[in-house]
Chain A
Amino acid sequence: NAGVTQTPKFRILKIGQSMTLQCTQDMNHNYMYWYRQDPGMGLKLIYYSVGAGITDKGEVPNGYNVSRSTTEDFPLRLELAAPSQTSVYFCASRVGGSTDTQYFGPGTRLTVL
């Protein structure tokens, strides 16, 4: 199993541009998450999904959109990029339940100039 994969690893955007961060997991996990990590601020939840076709907002959803058409894929869309969206983005997945583990992807480092 490859686990949770993310592309791209790095990206530089200009203000106002749009892009999609890709996330794929091959563990057949129901739950998937998108976080952003800023220095000294820990992980903030952007969006999450409990299954294909179901998504919901986390703590910091403004400026982002997601979709979950399949169990494996959970892309994060940035519309009209702003400097405040400069961050490291992590995708994660878990089976769900009281004894499961949440697995993280390697991250995407995004800079908006």
Chain B
Amino acid sequence: SQELEQSPQSLIVQEGKNLTINCTSSKTLYGLYWYKQKYGEGLIFLMMLQKGGEEKSHEKITAKLDEKKQQSSLHITASQPSHAGIYLCGAPGGSNYKLTFGKGTLLTVNP
């Protein structure tokens, strides 16, 4: 079965700093979802990547999918306290019906 490993597990940054979160798959990635979760709330969809080398941006968040390396990265530029939360990556497993998720990266942004 597919496993997704996220790194780092947690991250504390000063407001205004850039940061990167990685998601590495045990198998070839055919698609990759990024979600954000605030404490006590549901998961908010950020973006989905499908093709190797694909890159998408939304406001100050950029995600890339490197299919050859079985890895995706999420980069936040000039972080703000509103970026704080748990970031999770998810990917289709053997069946397209189901997504496998990483354990998440807890991001804290200090003002």
Contacts and interface: CB of A to CB of B under 8 A. Distances in A.
A binds B: yes
Interface stretch (A11-19, A35-43, A61-69, A71-79): A35-43
B15 to A, nearest CB: 26
A31 to B, nearest CB: 6
Interface residues of A, number: 24
Contacts of A31: 97
Contact of B98 (A4, A42, A58, A106): A58
Contact of A107 (B35, B42, B50, B98): B42
Given A40-B103, A101-B48, A102-B45, A48 B98 contact: yes
Contacts of B33: 101-102
B98 A45 contact: yes
A-B pairs, 8 with minimum CB distance? A42-B103, A104-B43, A43-B101, A106-B42, A104-B42, A42-B101, A107-B42, A101-B45
A104 B35 CA distance: 10
B97 A50 contact: yes
B102 interface: yes
Contacts of B109: none
A102 B42 contact: no
17 contacts: A40-B103, A42-B88, A42-B102, A42-B104, A45-B98, A90-B42, A96-B96, A98-B50, A98-B96, A101-B45, A102-B45, A102-B90, A102-B99, A104-B35, A104-B43, A105-B42, A109-B40
